[in-house]
Chain A
Amino acid sequence: MATAQVVRSEWTKIRSVASTVWTLSTAVVVTIALGMLISALSKNEFDNLSQREKLSFDPTFISFAGTGLGQLAMIVFGVLVVSNEYSTGMIRASLAAVPKRGVFLFSKLAVATALVFVVGMATSFATFFLGQLMLGDLKASIGDDGVLRAVFGGGLYMTLIALFSMGVATMLRSPMLSLGILMPFFFLISNILGNVSATEKVGRFLPDQAGSKIMQVVTPVDDDTPYGPWGGLGIMALWVIAAVVGGYVLLKRRDAQ
């Protein structure tokens, strides 16, 4: 009963600040628009591809090409939801109102995650269908083997990346510090580590590298990734759990400031 009150209160918090709307709408627009653009470009380039590249051609995954950039807005959303509490000093009011810190944190994360889940799923399905529209006769169908899993997985991926950011922000508290670490990490570092052959074997266990496997339908030729789509999402989920547990432990132990 008390938890239901806190959930309601966290919902009021989240819907009453502008950052919720602009971060989530940026995520939606960027993911869809970039997905459509790259889908359209891929269609035009298809004939120039080598035989091998044609075999690896994955219309579902291509329509999700905007996720890499769109997820950055999801990360901003996740970071702000938590670190706003600290940057405004609101954390004191929040914990005075809800002194059970576990109830406070998990209600906040539950509300924000539920919102991201709805937005992420809608974005994922929209991205897929609009992307396929751009791909013309190269398109995949939602009924094809593994496609529904990939599209549903795309929504889960965005949800998990936001939740991971919330966990990290709970640990770091400062919005600047959290964004300063997460943004370059997911935009650059993780991609580099995952694609350079020297670090590839480690890099592919990073949350986004592992998690994005869920959006793949066609396994590239010569792919030796040691996990499947759900395995990859599971690895990502482990990262998320670690971040959230770390955040909870620190919140519990620290003074509220």
Chain B
Amino acid sequence: MIELEGLTKRYGEKVAVDHLTFTVRPGIVTGFLGPNGAGKSTTMRMILGLDHPTAGDVRIDGTHYERLQDPLTYIGALLEAKGVHPGRSAYNHLLWLAQSNGIPERRVREVLDEVGLTAVARKKAKGFSLGMGQRLGIAAALLGDPRILMFDEPVNGLDPEGIHWIRTLMKSLAQQGRTVFVSSHLMSEMALTADHLVVIGQGRLLADTSMAQFIERNSRSYVRVRSPQREALLDALHQAGVTAVDGPDGTLEVDGTPAGTIGELAAANGVVLHELSPQQASLEEAFMQLTAESVEYHAHAGTPLPPQQQQRQQQQWGESWRKG
């Protein structure tokens, strides 16, 4: 379990991480999502005691990282920066890590085998491809057989086979009851692996929710309707108890009513339709909308948004609270 409480990191005037409070629980994959520069890596470095928080606190199983005896046996991490000396062999890289934490040397061979690097164990790391480097980083994370694993952008630059391997690995680690915390800037990636989702933007917590709930809220399906007789259509819908909201370019968007029903309503009232199309907002869109808002709130703090933009936000991301 990783617990963050009001975790904050400032670099001079710039706030990289802004009062983050959330808990990463065991037995599931928790996705840590945010655009590049949102503060994911900084947060992860603070979890590992590498960066000192400006304020707030982070604990691993209730303890500060630097107080952990042999920390690699509690938490293993793959950081974005690989941290391997190019002139050192994979075996020796894992060996010094193992020795520093009193991990037996046989574990080095075990993890090399697990990530499929046994054949190149004695080769210098500088000859490694991106994928091999990533596998070596994962071997290092697994070395101490830790209960908590943390991966920073693990699929970056990997080929499809490598991506599939990492996804499967993360799921199986969670199934073994371990805490798995994985960052990404890709919603699509998270949708495939994560059970729980923590979203940050500009260092601030935007969402802390189960994946299922996030999908339910955000993969919104609606019907887009376009009509030259807009008012007549609105009246007809209103009489039938169907709510429509303004969409872009004078369209209307209707939630929770099938396209067929709307078409029949229009026909019954003699309203001409130019468009009647079922729409599905992707998770990626929902995520971008969510994080874009955080950017906008920061950029124009205090200034009201132009009305059209405000509407868009309500329709897309504000779905859950509009419906109440």
- Give chain A's interface residues, CB within 8 Å of chain B: 2, 5-6, 8-10, 12-13, 16-19, 84, 88-100, 253, 255-257
Contact = CB atoms under 8 A, between A and B. Distances in A.
A20 to B, nearest CB: 10
20 contacts: A6-B100, A9-B98, A9-B99, A12-B96, A12-B99, A13-B96, A16-B96, A88-B86, A89-B82, A92-B45, A92-B50, A93-B79, A96-B77, A99-B65, A99-B71, A255-B45, A255-B52, A256-B50, A257-B45, A257-B51
B88 interface: yes
A256 B69 CA distance: 19
Contacts of A97: 71-72, 97, 100-101
Interface in B11-70: 45, 48-52, 65-66, 68-70
A100 to B, nearest CB: 6
B83 A16 contact: no
B99 A5 contact: yes
Given A12-B96, A255-B51, A92 B83 contact: yes
A12 B71 CA distance: 19
Nearest to B67: A99
B69 A96 contact: no
B81 interface: yes
B127 interface: no
Given A18-B87, A255-B45, A96 B50 contact: yes
Contacts of A257: 45, 50-51
Nearest to B68: A99
Question: Which of A89, A96, A253, A255 gathers most chain B CB within 10 Å?
Answer: A96
A60 B64 CA distance: 56
Given A84-B85, A96-B72, A99-B48, 15 more contacts: A2-B102, A12-B99, A13-B85, A17-B87, A88-B85, A91-B83, A96-B50, A96-B71, A96-B77, A97-B71, A97-B72, A97-B101, A99-B49, A255-B51, A255-B52
Contacts of B88: 13, 16-17
A105 to B, nearest CB: 13
B292 interface: no
Contacts of B66: 99-100
Nearest to B88: A16
A181 B179 CA distance: 46
B288 interface: no
Contact of A5 (B49, B50, B100): B100
Contacts of B100: 5-6, 8-9, 94, 97-98
Contacts of A92: 45, 48, 50, 79, 81, 83
Question: Which of B86, B88, B92, B95 gathers most chain A CB within 10 Å?
Answer: B88
Question: Which of B84, B96, B99, B140 gathers most chain A CB within 10 Å?
Answer: B96
A244 to B, nearest CB: 21
B79 to A, nearest CB: 6
B50 to A, nearest CB: 4
Nearest to B103: A5
Contact of B97 (A17, A93, A256): A93
A17 B86 CA distance: 9
B45 A256 contact: yes
A5 B84 CA distance: 20
B105 to A, nearest CB: 10
Contacts of B48: 92, 95-96, 99
Contacts of A255: 45, 50-52
Contacts of B77: 96
Contacts of A9: 96-100
Nearest to A19: B87
Nearest to A98: B100
Contacts of A5: 70, 99-102
A216 B242 CA distance: 100
Nearest to A20: B87
Contacts of B69: 2
A10 B88 CA distance: 13
Contacts of B311: none
B89 interface: yes
B101 A95 contact: no
Contacts of A94: 83, 100
A167 B84 CA distance: 22
What 7 pairs across the A-B complex have the smallest Cβ distances?
A: A9-B100, A16-B92, A93-B83, A9-B99, A89-B81, A256-B50, A99-B66
A46 to B, nearest CB: 46
A10 B99 CA distance: 9
B56 to A, nearest CB: 15
A90 B49 contact: no
A13 B100 CA distance: 11
